[in-house]
A = this chain, B = another copy of it.
């Protein structure tokens, strides 16, 4: 698994830092995108990610810097990969996303060369801001589907405020609520654990014939040996290899409700829009500081905290008077983690940064 940061800025894109978009590439080559702000398709061109391998897109919330690049990306992917008859792009995000995509694609008369489906997450009541109902009501996707659209699922929270987004044989995705100025989600991508290592020497001693019986033991099943003895798999099977876990949070000034499902993440991507000195402003705007992000990493006992979604006021290379180095955000998160004795490492995301997520050592 690799993570490729495609856009790491908040609010609006510039030529040096694009808005939110993060790719996760799996070992089979499939790519999942998390958020897709305006310009993400150009960032993809600059990256090693092949747009034709994007199979799923997850949108944390409906703000433009997280979603306005999706219709254009969907059109461009179609132009690049003309024949994809058996392919369906799966898109997941908050209620409203289905209508956003349908309206933009139909009004622009954008035919696609592949099918798509939007699965919507229905927010819980406390995710809505006070002024939600002051806005015109346009949430329901009405009317006919786009010609290449398949009907999607409606996903509601279970009693633990967790949305079971998907679960295939290899990976599961759960979503949780984070507090922001509009309904916002975080996604937890967890590989299934792999079976432990067989103790082949011991199996030979027990005269277990290699083949189907090994496979059964590897699955954790008890088998009856040629001797008539029943072998408990724990005698010959090492501990399972823990799967990797990546948590990608949407914009938030309070991510505590996700601490449960994000526990022991190998990587947490948490926003840090403003520095600690601006905590009050950050909270007013529904955003986090490095201190707030670091506390989430502490509480979840995560291995690596990746900060992203920086205000454009923070510069990689300060030039003009008044420029603030983005390094302050790193320093503030490190200070918080160090003061609490937490061993979690911190990095600042940069546009087009790619890094491997190593398998945890159990």
Partner-B contacts on A (CB < 8 A): 11-15, 38-39, 41-42, 45-46, 62-65, 67-69, 71-72, 75-76, 79, 96, 99-100, 103-104, 106-110, 134-139, 143-147, 181-182
Q: Flag if B15 contacts A42 (CB, 8 Å).
A: yes
**A104 touching B72 in the complex, CB below 8 Å, given contacts A12-B41, A109-B135, A109-B182:** no
For A39, the chain B residues whose CB sits under 8 A away are 13, 38-39, 42
Considering the complex, give the chain B residue whose CB is closest to the CB of A63. B108
Considering the complex, give the chain B residue whose CB is closest to the CB of A67. B108
Considering the complex, give the chain B residue whose CB is closest to the CB of A136. B144
Q: Flag if A103 contacts B99 (CB, 8 Å).
A: yes
Partner of A103, one of B15, B46, B100: B100
Q: Flag if A15 contacts B108 (CB, 8 Å).
A: no
Partner of A107, one of B99, B108, B144: B99
Q: How far is the CB of A133 from chain B (nearest CB, A)?
A: 12
Partner of A108, one of B72, B100, B134: B100
For A79, the chain B residues whose CB sits under 8 A away are 11-12
Q: Flag if A38 contacts B107 (CB, 8 Å).
A: no
A103 to B96, CA, bound (A): 10
A45 to B14, CA, bound (A): 7
Q: How far is the CB of A215 from chain B (nearest CB, A)?
A: 47
Q: Flag if A69 contacts B12 (CB, 8 Å).
A: no
Q: Flag if B64 contacts A72 (CB, 8 Å).
A: yes
A99 to B13, CA, bound (A): 25
Q: How far is the CB of A134 from chain B (nearest CB, A)?
A: 8
Dominant secondary structure at the A interface: loop
Q: How far is the CB of A40 from chain B (nearest CB, A)?
A: 9
Q: Flag if B12 contacts A75 (CB, 8 Å).
A: yes
Could you list some 18 contacts between A and B, CB below 8 A? Answer: A11-B79, A12-B75, A15-B45, A38-B39, A38-B41, A62-B109, A63-B108, A63-B109, A63-B110, A64-B110, A65-B72, A68-B71, A68-B104, A99-B107, A100-B107, A135-B147, A136-B146, A137-B144
A63 to B104, CA, bound (A): 10
For A41, the chain B residues whose CB sits under 8 A away are 12-13, 38
Considering the complex, give the chain B residue whose CB is closest to the CB of A66. B108
For A71, the chain B residues whose CB sits under 8 A away are 64, 68
Q: How far is the CB of A136 from chain B (nearest CB, A)?
A: 4
For A64, the chain B residues whose CB sits under 8 A away are 71-72, 75, 104, 108, 110
For A106, the chain B residues whose CB sits under 8 A away are 135-136, 138
A181 to B108, CA, bound (A): 11
For A99, the chain B residues whose CB sits under 8 A away are 103, 107
For A13, the chain B residues whose CB sits under 8 A away are 39, 41-42, 72
A96 to B45, CA, bound (A): 30
Q: Flag if B38 contacts A14 (CB, 8 Å).
A: no
Partner of A138, one of B72, B107, B135: B107
Q: Flag if B100 contacts A104 (CB, 8 Å).
A: yes
Q: How far is the CB of A290 from chain B (nearest CB, A)?
A: 23
A96 to B104, CA, bound (A): 10
For A76, the chain B residues whose CB sits under 8 A away are 11-12
Q: How far is the CB of A156 from chain B (nearest CB, A)?
A: 20
Considering the complex, give the chain B residue whose CB is closest to the CB of A69. B38
A67 to B64, CA, bound (A): 15
